[in-house]
Amino acid sequence: MTPKRGGPDGGSGTGSTRIYNRIAVLRAERELSRYQLAEAVGVNYQTIGYLERGEYNPSLELALRLAELFELPVEAIFSRQPQRPMSEELYAPDRERVDNK
């Protein structure tokens, strides 16, 4: 994984590799502003922006807090691999099942 340059800590956040996430999509689905989400998880709104842009990797505590807020498992929000679009992940298995029949 190529670390993204320009992160606030070590170039890519708290870790040396980039962690991909779906925070922007999940936030939009729940019609939350960055500021509201930041308030809800107790961080600065800029931190949410950096998370969404992949310029900051959250701590485990922040990741768990976000997962709790979105009521999703951590691995549904964060991944070490680039994430496929939600719709693809949701519908691809069904399509595969249909094709198999």
Partner 1 sequence: MTSSSPARTRSWGWIPVILLSLVIGAGLALGATTTNTFGLSNLLTFIYVALCAATALVVRRVTAQPGNWLGRRRVRRVVVLLVVLSCLLMVALPADGLGGTVLLLLLFLALCNVVLARATAQVAVSLPRPLDERQGSLRDRGYRLAYWLLAGIAGLLALVTYFAGSGARAWLGTALVSGPFIAFVVLAICLPTMIVAWIEPDQVMPAPPETRSHVWAVRVAAVMVATSLLVPLLAAIGVEVIPAQATQLKRYSSPAPKGSGCATLRRTTEIGFWFEARFVLDTEVCWNGHRARYLYGMNRSDCMASDWVLVSISTSQCVRRTKSNGTVEFNYTAWIHPDVLSFLARRLRVSVAVDRNGKVERTK
The residues binding partner 1 (CB under 8 A) are 6-9, 13-14, 33-35, 38-39, 42-50, 52-53, 55-56, 58-59, 61-62
**Residue (9 or 100) nearer to partner 1, CB:** 9
Least distance in angstroms from the C-beta of 99 to partner 1: 42
DSSP string of 31-82?
A: T--HHHHHHHHTS-HHHHHHHHTTS-PPPHHHHHHHHHHHTS-HHHHEESSP
Q: In this complex, which beta carbon is closest to partner 1, that of residue 10 or of residue 85?
A: 10
Sequence-separated (6 or more) residues with CB below 8 Å from residue 52:
21, 23, 24, 27, 34
**Nearest distance, CB of residue 72 and partner 1, angstroms:** 20
Q: How far is the CB of 57 from partner 1 (least distance, A)?
A: 9
The residue among 16 and 59 lying less far from partner 1, judged by its C-beta, is 59
